[in-house]
A and B are shown apart, each in its own frame.
Chain A
């Protein structure tokens, strides 16, 4: 039966996340936007609380690791599970603050990667770690098959060499999931991910970036110089199987893209919520029944923004719902991220404009959301990469045909 309301059993979790976002993240939102690179110590307590929630089962398995798809047979019938719970709670947290959400201990994208591709032994061993994700290198971004960081087997260890940039929470996390190639000549199939724990000799944080937005989140450059990691830290299969190819590593994205889409949806809703108030104070009420074009330009604009927001929100829920029901969701995840990414920028920037100097000023947060949102149309696959994935799928074209 078609029903797109927030699932009843996830509603308490959403309400809780909203309270946390409102009462914990918002009060320190501007503080850490200005104090870039300073560790938001308030988050430790929050993380402990979230862990407690997870242990109690009240979180419906939500969180970065909630995207794991175990091999257990799926019960028959419609499922609303950890994927939906995760995107809905991330959405609420990012309504509070995107940068702080990204800095939440043990909720890193690396955790989602581990959850997506680790075997049972590994996921048990890395339980409780806070894992950052290191894919991008100075010489490539979107073309993640161009990994030049190498991993060479030496006995029971792999020796990793290379430079990784844009590692979110790279300095704060307990470990880093790093993508490296076993043999560059074998292409995508040879790319594997490794968990490297903090303090492993040969791995060092070179510097932290100064950014346009999400400044509460640290973005590190990490250098690997003859960094030796146990062979058991290679996630998934060590075999270079050209048939499976890149699929294993890319599967992470099917799980993380809905989360990033949810971040954009949350951030944009913050802008819409505040702008609605600001417009009301200026005498503009949004009327849902009166034709948009018979209302003020501001109201008509707002309606258009909210309509695009609603589309992005539901595309995000759809991709998570499909994951919960073990349906392949690569295309829907990309659709969600493409729509949410561009909607996020459009909505937050338009809201700054609607609010005028009030929106542009640092006295409130609209301008910050206008900066924070931009990254969400870039990381975990840019707008253009998402369009490429959707186009290939719709048109039935290979990556050789549609470059």
Chain B
């Protein structure tokens, strides 16, 4: 469409949450001018404006741009053959809701970490749009990045660990969803490499994740478009020589400015594929993209402009791409469980101690039934998610179960977030209590793609 100067002034749409159909009339134009003037006057008068400010990357405001992290050089090594794989989990043929001893131990460790380290840091991390460095370092000690990585490759998995993965996502998210995503993001990349990498890809990249200096890394599937379908990404890859060139914009990139390695979803020859992209590659611009919630994950977008990668970059095939999409959604369901449990754990003592009309509000059915429904729906979400995870672990097709878990966790999880705030009334709406954060976090379920993986 040709540029129309009149329309560009009159059309209010496309920014500030206005739809394209909004038009400005003369009074509207005057108000716009006044507003602009008032803003600049105010800022200058208070001396808040610093000339350097525009150039510093701030993850707490939208639109700040920077180049991707300088990052380490991953020395290319290993052969062309297939990578090492963990076997599928055995099936006893019995219905069972008891985690294995190993899984339970893991959950206990992560739960302690969530209670003692994550929850106390949550509010500040939400504000800062970043998880504290010490916390991220501590999360390495409990083995989060290598949870899904095969033992042979330096990880701790002896079999497909989707159930353990979901349990860990749940336990960590009970502390805080944003911090959970920040601390699990590198593990998503490592897990994908372990599950789908060639010998060369595993040998080149995985040792860094099993070492002491674990790189920040991000599994990147989402794009900033309405009705986004990860199976048909707009980001395109084309062949060039023996390698590929990527162009497009991706969203929900965890700690994009820190990440040293990305796994990026792009369409190649009409099929969705994953590409390993090192942050030192030219053409990657990281744009801050703080969102409604999951803020501690330091969400960003990345713009890919003629990003050229070598042949080693192509990870798996379009069938494994689909698996990654599914198992990432499953990981988000695990996160939903933890945050919804946090809501239940918080509102239960609250409604028993808060009094109205001379008795605890918990004594009223309208309040008590809301709590009951949180418990009922949460347990339903949990069972559906566990079933999907156990199918993935056993190497069974879990498309249906994951889709159902995602629908349920999106719908019922959001309701739990809403009810959490509602039960606290005005207290729920202010930051003194964490329920407003959980409300914002739970909205992520059902729309997020990528970032985490089990």
> Residues of A at under 8 Å CB distance from B?
1-9, 78, 80, 84, 288-294, 303-304, 306-308, 310-312, 314-315, 317-318, 321, 332, 335, 338-339, 384, 387-388, 390-392, 394-397, 401-403
> Quick one: given A307-B408, A395-B352, are A387 and B93 in contact (CB under 8 Å)?
no
- Report B345-395 residues with CB < 8 Å from chain A CB: 348, 351-352, 360, 362-363, 365, 368-369, 371-373, 375-377, 379-381, 383-384, 386-387, 389-391, 394
Residue with the highest number of chain A CB atoms closer than 10 Å, among B95, B100, B231, B404: B95
Please give me the residue from chain B that is nearest to A288 by CB atom.
B403
Closest CB in chain A relative to B231 CB, distance in Å? 6
Chain A residues, Cβ within 8 Å of B383: 4, 311, 314-315, 318
Size category of the B interface is: 35 or more
Minimum distance in angstroms from B330 CB to a CB of chain A = 12
Closest CB in chain B relative to A344 CB, distance in Å: 14
Residue of B100, B227, B344, B411 near A294 (CB, 8 A) is B227
Tell me the bound Cα distance from A244 to B389 in angstroms.
42
Determine the residue in chain B with the shortest Cβ distance to A392.
B368
Where the two chains meet, the residues of B that have a C-beta atom closer than 8 Å to any C-beta of A are 89-100, 103, 163, 227-229, 231, 322, 325-326, 344, 348, 351-352, 360, 362-363, 365, 368-369, 371-373, 375-377, 379-381, 383-384, 386-387, 389-391, 394, 399-405, 407-408, 411-412
Q: Are A394 and B348 in contact (CB under 8 A)?
A: yes
Q: Which 10 A-B pairs have the closest CB atoms?
A: A311-B380, A8-B93, A314-B383, A288-B403, A4-B387, A391-B368, A391-B372, A307-B407, A390-B372, A307-B408
Smallest Cβ-Cβ distance to A290: which chain B residue: B229
Which of A3, A289, A397 has a CB less than 8 Å from the CB of B399? Answer: A289
Q: Please pick, from A5, A84, A289, A394, the residue contacting B371 in the complex, using a CB distance under 8 A.
A: A394
Q: What residues on B are CB-neighbors of A321 within 8 Å?
A: 95-97
Interface pair B407/A303, CB less than 8 Å apart = yes
Q: Is the CB of B362 within 8 A of A304?
A: no
Bound state CA distance, A291 and B399, in angstroms?
A: 12
Residues of A within 8 A of B405 (CB): 307, 310
Asked whether B403 lies within 8 Å of A303 as measured between CB atoms, the reply is: yes
Say whether B326 contacts A395, CB under 8 Å.
no
Query: Nearest residue in B to A292 (C-beta to C-beta)?
Result: B407
A310, B229: Cβ atoms under 8 Å?
A: no
Most A CB contacts (10 A, CB to CB) among B89, B384, B405 go to: B384
Distance in angstroms between the alpha carbons of A312 and B368 in the assembled complex: 21
Q: Are B94 and A78 in contact (CB under 8 A)?
A: yes
In the complex, chain A residues whose CB is within 8 Å of the CB of B98: 1-2, 78
Q: Which chain A residues border B408 with CB–CB below 8 Å?
A: 307-308, 310-311
CB-contact partner of B390 in A5, A291, A388, under 8 A: A5
Q: Are B386 and A4 in contact (CB under 8 A)?
A: yes
Q: Give Cα A387–Cα B374 distance, bound, in whole angstroms.
A: 10
Residues of A within 8 A of B384 (CB): 307, 310-311, 314
Q: Are A402 and B380 in contact (CB under 8 A)?
A: no
A and B contact pairs by CB, cutoff 8 A, 24 listed: A2-B98, A2-B99, A78-B94, A78-B96, A84-B95, A289-B322, A289-B399, A291-B228, A292-B403, A303-B407, A304-B411, A310-B387, A310-B404, A314-B380, A314-B383, A318-B383, A339-B377, A384-B369, A387-B369, A391-B365, A392-B368, A397-B352, A397-B363, A402-B365
Q: Which residues of B contact A317 (CB under 8 A)?
A: 95
Least Cβ distance of A185 to chain B in Å? 27
Known contacts A78-B94, A307-B407, A397-B362; can you find 10 more A-B pairs with CB under 8 A? A2-B103, A4-B95, A4-B390, A78-B96, A291-B228, A304-B407, A310-B384, A384-B369, A390-B372, A394-B348
Task: Check if B375 sits within 8 Å of A390, measured CB to CB.
Answer: yes
Do the beta carbons of B372 and A311 come within 8 Å of each other?
no
Q: Which residues of A contact B91 (CB under 8 A)?
A: 3, 5
- Which residues does chain A contribute within 8 Å of B386, judged by CB atoms? 2, 4
